[in-house]
């Protein structure tokens, strides 16, 4: 039970990688706040955890809204008395829009959800973790945050920002007992899609260039959840301010 009695908030926890994290963390003894924008899906995950003997509570949260972010953190403290682990997992794609085709609306939406949301959650969590004497933050980044063309311009920029934020927080708060790391998944089977009904054809062509170099299976969300568990637990006690790539070897070329 690597997370016995730990209070955990996971965003985007009603589907995909976030759901896999919520189920695994609960199995490992955590008390989980299942935060997501989809209320029905939240309840389904909470019930699945309860049926398996775990502890979870739902929190409807659009991470682009500061009041929602604050409420989900408050839910953990009010229901479980503390906040041990924050997982910023919610995110969206950008329809593979290139730098010349990206709209202000798409750019702003991607940045609000992928960057500003995690920043606000971290900003809310840090005083709580400082008062407790420690805590763990795990951010879902992407191989798109390590390289230049795994997605469109907005998504690529947003995930580079998440990695920069991760390193900043990890270094500045490590001496206070707070670790902050990121996961950079590759292609994983989730419902994130490409972020639009009419993706940019040139953008997709450019993004797929690297993938064409090696035929690869799409990863199971459970693979990413296992990495998140490692980073959230004491198994990674000396891991801080860094990024763990989990892409099946896609970026090894």
The model carries a pTM of 0.91
Band of residue 251 on the pLDDT scale cut at 50, 70, 90:
confident
Q: Which of 3-17, 45-59, 217-231 has the lowest mean pLDDT?
A: 217-231
Tens of pLDDT, residue by residue over 177-207, are 999 999 999 877 655 455 455 666 665 555 5
- Which residue ranges make up each domain of the chain? 7-252
pLDDT at 197: 55
For the record, the structure tokens of 25 come out as 């963390």
Active site residue 155: yes
CA 137 to chain centre: 10
Band of residue 215 on the pLDDT scale cut at 50, 70, 90:
very low
SS3 206: helix
- Choose the catalytic residue: 155, 202, 223, 253: 155
Domain 7-252 has CATH 3.40.50.720: yes
């Amino acid at each position: 039970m690597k997370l016995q009695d730990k209070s955990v908030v996971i965003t985007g926890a009603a589907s995909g990688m976030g759901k896999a994290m919520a189920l695994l963390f609960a199995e490992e003894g955590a008390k989980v706040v299942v935060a997501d924008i989809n209320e029905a899906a939240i309840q389904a995950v909470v019930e699945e955890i309860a049926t398996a003997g775990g502890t979870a509570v739902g929190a409807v949260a659009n991470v682009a809204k500061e009041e929602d972010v604050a409420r989900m953190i408050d839910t953990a403290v009010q229901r479980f008395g503390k906040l041990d682990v924050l997982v910023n997992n919610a995110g969206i794609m950008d329809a593979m829009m290139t730098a010349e085709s990206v709209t202000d609306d798409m750019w702003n939406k991607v940045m609000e959800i992928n960057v500003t949301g995690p920043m606000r959650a971290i900003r809310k969590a840090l005083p709580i973790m400082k008062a407790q004497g420690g805590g763990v933050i795990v951010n879902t980044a992407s191989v798109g945050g390590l390289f230049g063309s795994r997605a469109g311009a907005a998504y690529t920029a947003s995930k580079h920002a998440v990695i920069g934020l991760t390193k900043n927080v990890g270094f500045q708060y490590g001496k206070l007992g707070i670790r902050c790391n990121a996961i950079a998944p590759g292609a994983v089977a989730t419902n994130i899609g490409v972020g639009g009904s009419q993706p940019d054809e040139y953008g997709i062509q450019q993004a797929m260039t690297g993938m064409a170099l090696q035929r690869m299976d799409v990863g199971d969300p459970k693979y990413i959840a296992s990495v998140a568990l490692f980073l959230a637990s004491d198994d990674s006690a000396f891991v801080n301010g860094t990024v763990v790539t989990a892409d099946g070897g896609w970026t090894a070329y």
